[in-house]
Amino acid sequence: MKKVFVFVLTGCMLLSAPAQKIMGFTAPDAAKQLDWEKQFDGELKASAQDEYMRFLTSHPHHVGSPQGKANAEYMAALFRQWGYQVRIAEYQVLFPTPKLRQLEIAGNKNYKPKLKEAVLAADKTSGQLAEQLPPYNAYSADGDVTAELVFVNRGVPADYEELARRGVEVKGKIVIAKYGGSWRGIKPKVAAEHGAIGCIIYSDPADDGYAIGDTYPEGGYRPGDGVQRGSVMDMPVYPGDPLTPDRGATQEAQRLDRSEAPTIMKIPVLPISWEDALPLLQSLKGEVVPAGWRGALPITYHTGPSNVKVHLKLAFNWDIKPLYDVIAQLPGTEYPDEWVIAGNHHDGWVNGAADPISGMVAELETARAIGELVKKGYKPKRTLVFCAWDGEEPALLGSTEWTEDHQSELRQKAVAYINTDGNGRGFINAGGSHIFEPFFNEIIEQVTDPETGVSLKERKYAQTVVNADKTNRTKLMGNKYLKLGALGAGSDWGGFLQHLGISSLNLGFGGESEGDQYHSVYDSYDHFIRFIDPGFKYGVTLSKTSGRTLLRLANAAVLPVDFSSFYKTVNDYATEIKTQLEKTRTETEEETRMAKDQLFELARDPGKTYLAPAAKEPVPFLNWGSLENALVSLKNASEEFQQLYGNAPGLPADKQALLNAVLYKAERSLLQPDGLPRRPWYRHQVYAPGFYTGYGVKTLPGIREAVEQRYWKEAQENIERIAATLQAYTIQVKTAVGLLK
């Protein structure tokens, strides 16, 4: 009875409400699509996600582990069962694992670091000791070093400037850095650039431990012995197997010798818990750190050097290990050679529940539900490809090798890549190619938040306004449009977006999870269902969100792109950099004057060393004309495109086919074949991970990083280069306009 009532109500609403539009669909097709999406939602089961997760997290499933292979086979079997064509793509990659990890304080026999995480009764997989990878940083160098210790805060370049001003010498020392503030691989890289001979990274409780919330297992936050594993490969140079840049690491692939591989870290690096770090930090002498460097341990933090020597000895098994990427296809009925790709990784550092299985189970359930739709008659026009990557954790290995291996095919066929790494309770978070921004906004208007019953967009808007600084609130109020973030590094879109120019999105939820066990044994099923997404409500919501994205991309008559959004975003980036340049000019002038007037000398405590900042050359004026002209061309072409786009779904099919090819390949013209300065693998001229931030994205990186590094000649060259790139892109937009006329 209740069901009928609901149906009648829904029927009335459908009749009385105006037909809902969807980008790229005609009105009748939109109605059908919406009906399929409703059925799709109906298929999604939290219990299924729970079941997948139980299996996938049942044992440690890192690269080369038995469970890793079992997981690939489990998922392949599921995809097959759901009607997909499946293969497991195998690659052979360099994946070091620890042979010896030794950390000592010279002359202190009482210092016995655990270098491991405790077995907890409340966490049933924490005791799988024989299968676990112990805490380590993958691609650390082997090494046996003994030296005084220096505390380098987050270990980014600005921290070393502060140490230099305090007269603290890093050369020949071992550094200890806090996790956070940059991608971890930046820390040893910058340490090595400054002459350090070893690097220790620890998790300060100020960042993800007791300062933030109750620790595991009472609460969800990182306990005193929790350690963050992770890669320290120099991925901002290139990700993937260090021995096979720009080619798939197949059995027969040509390989660099390990000694030549530029992305392997040059010094030994070890991650430790704060309990193991505390005696090291207590051994530091020298001045008290700047206020911003303090952590939450009950000590006075000092810069060092320590009054004792620290001994760090690391050795690794430098083995070649197999990767298992699961690739499941549902061929398109009209455009089988246009691929809409979904992906996430399946490998974890240990049992990896939140990272990556929370995203993987949403992907699996999306695929299952689509399989059910197909049984009911749904026909994807374009081919849907579901990928489960191996080896993301060490270096985006699986996705990078696969995209390198299939690069020519992907250049031809890939329409978009949708990634879903890591999911939890809370608010929608998304980043990606800005041509998808209005498309993404349309979707989040139509998916309901499971906790409040309003749309994802309404809820995100509420969060944004309520948490805004009061001074900034006025301009946020009333504007519910959600800007996409830009994608740097952090998950498997790198090969697609930054190497091959395939428009990408990354989707996930977060903000209400209670505690982070990132890359720890405690990122487990037991932790996940208590603190991250109890009942998989947001797992199902992620399936709804990414599922709609895939279904619409698969069946749109005309792909849902918006060049004006891209133009506006790039124009904002250019403005940001110009503003930054002017700020740098002012600050440089001021600093020069301050040094000349001896203000640094006069302001410091005469009892302490605190040098003036290193003198800097004046900032030249750059020529922006070519970029500004390119932006105006792009603006005009994009606006013309958007004016005509509404009619596109009604065009004849052959014209649509031509148009779609232009639309999804447009992003390729944002690549330059020789890539970014000093890192040719990164070809995209708009989005890249920062060379000195790692995860942190740098937009228009050729210009932005040159300005940040004060490479003025390079900045000017890259203005010209990006101007040319945008002009090439504008030609694609104009071609699309031509087809729309």
CA max distance for the chain:
85
The window from 191-199, 262-270, 596-604, 633-641 that contacts its own copies (CB under 8 A) reads: 596-604
Q: For 395-554, list the strands marked E by DSSP.
A: 414-419, 426-432, 504-511
Is 35 a residue that touches its own copies (CB under 8 A)?
no
Query: What is the pairing mode between strands 137-138 and 230-231?
Result: parallel
Is 462 a residue that touches its own copies (CB under 8 A)?
yes
Options 379, 572, 587, 647; binder of its own copies; rule CB under 8 A: 587
Residues 188-217 interacting with its own copies (rule: CB under 8 A): 205, 210-215
Cβ nearer to its own copies, comparing 124 with 578: 578
Residue among 179, 175, 172, 169 nearest 190 (CA):
175
Give the SS3 label for residue 91: strand
Is 305 a residue that touches its own copies (CB under 8 A)?
no
The window from 19-27, 261-269, 294-302, 343-351 that contacts its own copies (CB under 8 A) reads: 294-302
Structure tokens at 189: 């890289």
Q: 468, 373 in Cβ contact below 8 A? A: no
Distance (Å, rounded) from C-alpha 62 to C-alpha 352?
9
Give the SS3 label for residue 740: helix
Distance (Å, rounded) from C-alpha 507 to C-alpha 348?
19
Options 459, 544, 665, 683; binder of its own copies; rule CB under 8 A: 459
Is 164 a residue that touches its own copies (CB under 8 A)?
no
Query: What is the pairing mode between strands 504-511 and 414-419?
Result: parallel
Q: Estimate to the nearest angstrom the gap between the alpha carbon of 623 and the chain centroid.
A: 33
Options 246, 317, 590, 609; binder of its own copies; rule CB under 8 A: 590
Options 593, 596, 655, 678; binder of its own copies; rule CB under 8 A: 593
10 Å Cβ neighbour count for 370? 27
Is 596 a residue that touches its own copies (CB under 8 A)?
no
Distance (Å, rounded) from C-alpha 308 to C-alpha 46?
54
Cβ nearer to its own copies, comparing 174 with 456: 456
Site string for its own copies, 91-130 (x = CB under 8 A): ----------------------------------------
Using CB under 8 A, count the residues that bind its own copies.
51
Is 15 a residue that touches its own copies (CB under 8 A)?
no
Q: 271, 137 in Cβ contact below 8 A? A: yes
DSSP run (H or E) holding 385: strand 382-389
Give the SS3 label for residue 438: helix
Query: What is the pairing mode between strands 174-178 and 143-151?
Result: parallel
Is 297 a residue that touches its own copies (CB under 8 A)?
yes
Residue among 150, 197, 194 nearest 172 (CA):
197
Is 482 a residue that touches its own copies (CB under 8 A)?
no
Is 85 a residue that touches its own copies (CB under 8 A)?
no
Residue among 621, 614, 620, 622 nearest 592 (CA):
614
Distance (Å, rounded) from C-alpha 131 to C-alpha 350?
8
Options 104, 131, 372, 512; binder of its own copies; rule CB under 8 A: 512
Is 605 a residue that touches its own copies (CB under 8 A)?
yes
Distance (Å, rounded) from C-alpha 26 to C-alpha 551?
15
Options 128, 463, 571, 588; binder of its own copies; rule CB under 8 A: 463
Options 315, 320, 374, 594; binder of its own copies; rule CB under 8 A: 594
Options 10, 452, 579, 643; binder of its own copies; rule CB under 8 A: 452
Options 144, 161, 193, 601; binder of its own copies; rule CB under 8 A: 601
Residue with tokens 């190619």: 433
Q: For 400-547, list the strands marked E by DSSP.
A: 414-419, 426-432, 504-511
Distance (Å, rounded) from C-alpha 662 to C-alpha 672?
18
Is 13 a residue that touches its own copies (CB under 8 A)?
no
Least separation in angstroms between residue 402's CB and its own copies is 38
DSSP secondary structure of 218-236: TSSB--TT----EE-S-TT
The window from 190-198, 336-344, 457-465, 489-497 that contacts its own copies (CB under 8 A) reads: 457-465
The window from 192-200, 582-590, 654-662, 681-689 that contacts its own copies (CB under 8 A) reads: 582-590
Structure tokens at 300: 């006075």
Least separation in angstroms between residue 605's CB and its own copies is 5
Query: What is the pairing mode between strands 382-389 and 426-432?
Result: unpaired
Cβ nearer to its own copies, comparing 586 with 623: 586
Query: What is the pairing mode between strands 687-689 and 697-699?
Result: antiparallel
Is 470 a residue that touches its own copies (CB under 8 A)?
yes
Options 85, 108, 300, 317; binder of its own copies; rule CB under 8 A: 300
The window from 116-124, 195-203, 410-418, 590-598 that contacts its own copies (CB under 8 A) reads: 590-598
What is the 8-class DSSP label of residue 611? P
Distance (Å, rounded) from C-alpha 592 to C-alpha 616?
7
Beta bridge partners of 176: 151, 200
Cβ nearer to its own copies, comparing 264 with 284: 284
Cβ nearer to its own copies, comparing 29 with 458: 458
The window from 52-60, 104-112, 501-509, 581-589 that contacts its own copies (CB under 8 A) reads: 581-589
Is 477 a residue that touches its own copies (CB under 8 A)?
yes
Least separation in angstroms between residue 164's CB and its own copies is 17
Is 658 a residue that touches its own copies (CB under 8 A)?
no
10 Å Cβ neighbour count for 194? 19
Distance (Å, rounded) from C-alpha 175 to C-alpha 622?
38
The window from 76-84, 377-385, 453-461, 546-554 that contacts its own copies (CB under 8 A) reads: 453-461
Give the SS3 label for residue 507: strand
Residue among 179, 223, 202 nearest 515 (CA):
223
Cβ nearer to its own copies, comparing 282 with 626: 282
Residues 214-253 interacting with its own copies (rule: CB under 8 A): 214-215, 219, 221
Is 70 a residue that touches its own copies (CB under 8 A)?
no
Is 448 a residue that touches its own copies (CB under 8 A)?
no
Is 8 a residue that touches its own copies (CB under 8 A)?
no
Is 575 a residue that touches its own copies (CB under 8 A)?
no
Least separation in angstroms between residue 613's CB and its own copies is 10
Is 9 a residue that touches its own copies (CB under 8 A)?
no
Burial of 432 (0-12, 13-18, 19+ CB in 10 A): buried
Least separation in angstroms between residue 226's CB and its own copies is 14
Residue among 298, 145, 269, 128 nearest 200 (CA):
269
Cβ nearer to its own copies, comparing 146 with 282: 282
The footprint of its own copies (CB under 8 A) covers 205, 210-215, 219, 221, 288, 294, 296-300, 425-426, 451-452, 454, 458-459, 461-463, 465-467, 470, 473-474, 477, 512, 583, 586-587, 590, 593-594, 597-607
